[in-house]
Amino acid sequence: MSLGLPLASCSIDEAVSDNEYRERIEKAKQELGDRVMILGHHYQRDSIVEHADATGDSFRLSRMAADSTAEHIVFCGVHFMAESADILTNDQQIVSMPTTRAGCSMADMANVPDVEECWHILLEELDLQDPLSRENPDEIANQDDNFLVPVTYMNSSAALKAFVGKHGGIVCTSTNAKGVLEWALSRAGGLGKVLFFPDQHLGRNTAFKMGFKSEDMVVWDPREIPDTSEISAARFVLWHGYCSVHQRFTVNQIQNLRKSYPHAMIVVHPECDRKVVQAADADGSTDFIRRYCEDAPSGSIIGVGTEINLVQRLNSKYPDKEILCLDDSVCPCSTMYMIHPRFLAEQLESIINGDERNIISIDKQTSSDAIKALNRMLEV
């Protein structure tokens, strides 16, 4: 089904059919052969996914790129994903995107200057310690220690991953967030805190699963900094960021689906609001949602709270089940949608012609610091 959505002012030749772009892409792929690997995130449209050599979530795709022998990695996703791929791949591999305009609004809600300001305020006003002040930043802390440990979601810039790596912190995904936050608390000590960014909802939902309460969390918004007394009582300082797609899902949508289908199963992403997660039957990462739909009995009706392209793909994949998006007004990721087949065709053709365009390249120091945080995650 075509979504018929605008392409965020990208100029696309509507006279060119999908078949013509498909032919150009396939011709370029055939000419490039093993020199190129196309990665397609789950949220990409079908006309991109059909050309992908691998599909998955952002970190899985980045690791697959690093394990490949392809000279060129073309990442059909958003900017932070291609950055992670460049960090993990070797110096001989070149990472690019069909268009570098495909960013992530959540990732953009946390930047290094704002995070550094927050970091220094928390250290100075609450008399917390930087993990760098001890000989081994990865050391498990004591009950009377008061370290501030930074944790960044994978959906963040390379610069923020590097900040976390430098300060003894760690990266998480929506799959391993609970284990990562447990790791961070063990390094913070009994009097310490965890600074989690950029998505407040993943941080909050994970903390609740760990047994913490609302008073153990405080939201940090650089435009309206909370009182010191609020922060002092909290164990988690959650950045104010959110996903524009997952924030669209509501409890009312779940209730309405249950009215129409009393036996419907509901699964949502943990980037959704806390009340939505509570009202659902299950929540988890994109891969969790895929497995949930796969494992559901034949004849099931499943309401899903995540991006529409994935939901429609799952509905097509399992014709014995009805898989519905909770938001019936359509909820695409507008920046993912910027990856149009035309841009993929042009990117592949530019590689054939030896033109350097849309290259994603992270400097060595940033990569080195970011890898520290990623390696800590892999050890959890």
**Domain 18-103+335-362 bears CATH identifier 3.30.720.210:** no
- CA-to-CA distance for 344 and 348, rounded, in angstroms? 6
Supply the DSSP string of 117-133, one letter for each residue. Answer: HHHHHHHHHTT-B-GGG
> Where does the pLDDT of residue 6 fall: very low under 50, low under 70, confident under 90, or very high at 90 and above?
very low
Give yes or no for a contact between 237 and 196, defined as CB atoms under 8 angstroms apart.
Answer: yes
**Average pLDDT score over residue span 225-248:** 93
Q: Has residue 228 got a pLDDT over 90?
A: no
> Where does the pLDDT of residue 226 fall: very low under 50, low under 70, confident under 90, or very high at 90 and above?
confident
pLDDT at 358: 97
Per-residue tokens: 6: 């605008």
Give domain limits for the chain. Answer: 18-103+335-362, 107-244, 246-325
Supply the DSSP string of 229-244, one letter for each residue. Answer: HHHHH-SEEEESB--T
Q: Of the given ranges (4-13, 84-93, 114-123), which has the lowest mean pLDDT?
A: 4-13
Q: Has residue 85 got a pLDDT over 80?
A: yes
Mean of pLDDT over the chain:
93
Q: Has residue 1 got a pLDDT over 60?
A: no
Give CATH superfamily name and number for 246-325.
NadA-like (3.40.50.10800)
pLDDT at 165: 97
CA angle 72, 73, 75 (to 5 degrees): 145
18-103+335-362 and 246-325 in the same fold: yes
**Average pLDDT score over residue span 319-327:** 97
Supply the DSSP string of 44-96, one letter for each residue. Answer: S-HHHHTT-SEEE-HHHHHHHHHHS--SEEEEES-HHHHHHHHHHS-TT-EEE
pLDDT at 4: 34
Q: Has residue 10 got a pLDDT over 60?
A: no
pLDDT tens digits for range 352-378? 999 989 999 999 999 999 999 999 999
**Average pLDDT score over residue span 96-121:** 96
**Average pLDDT score over residue span 191-208:** 98
Return the higher-pLDDT residue of 18 and 206. Answer: 206
**Percentage of residues in the chain with pLDDT exceeding 90?**
88
- CA-to-CA distance for 43 and 309, rounded, in angstroms? 6
Taking Cα atoms as reference points, which of 248, 291, 303 lies closest to residue 271? 248
